[in-house]
Structure 1
Amino acid sequence: MEGETLSSGGIGKGIREMDGKMVQTFQKNFVQVENILDQNRLLINEINQNHESKMPHNLTRNVGLIRELNNNIRRVVDLYADLSTSFTKSIDDGDSAVKPGHKRNRPPPN
């Protein structure tokens, strides 16, 4: 908030630690998401080719490919949910590390 000050230097250390863990989590999850999305791109291309061929065997194969695509999308949603939870938890943990020595100076009301 505007006009807020912290009398303890501990916040900087807590934020740096939180940032390091968060960055690792984000990087790990984003690499997983990127790999899944690359796989989805290949699946979609194959599904489109099978559809255009109109061959019964290829159309039957699309059922399994579409299931795999749906599962991949579900995994991406789960990864983003995990990221959101980790981010929220890190923010909450960071707030609790700030409480000792926390002092607010607010501007007087107008």
Structure 2
Amino acid sequence: MLPNSIKKYQNSTDLLINIAENDLYSKLIIQLTKDFGLANYDLKISEKSTPDTLKEALNNAIKNLILTDSNTYKTILYIIDVPEEIIQKIDTSDINNYVEAVVFLILKRVWKKVWFRAKYTN
């Protein structure tokens, strides 16, 4: 799967199921854990977790950060390199839809990092 094909996925579940079929799925989890750790947030997720478990953990983490620690939330977005202008365009009227959209953006960006690193550093 090429990073450009990420655009064809409509949500994080669809993206994760397809990534899980790739041998880089565990590297995606390692990178997410590393990026969250750089923001001093301990994202507890096993490399062997299912896509649904990973999505649930990310949704819970992001929702918790939005509600309790906006500085860490913003730091994570900065570390992962999710563009602020895209975040600002997301409808905030429903927290669950907002969190789902942010998680999708995070997963797309981290997947691109992992994919490019695997393709061009081996």
What's the TM-score once normalised by structure 2's chain length?
A: 0.32
Task: Kindly indicate whether structure 1 or structure 2 has the higher relative contact order, using CA contacts under 8 Å at least 6 residues apart.
Answer: 1
TM-score (norm 1): 0.35
Asked which structure has the greater CA Rg, the reply is: 1
Give the strand-richer structure, 1 or 2: 1
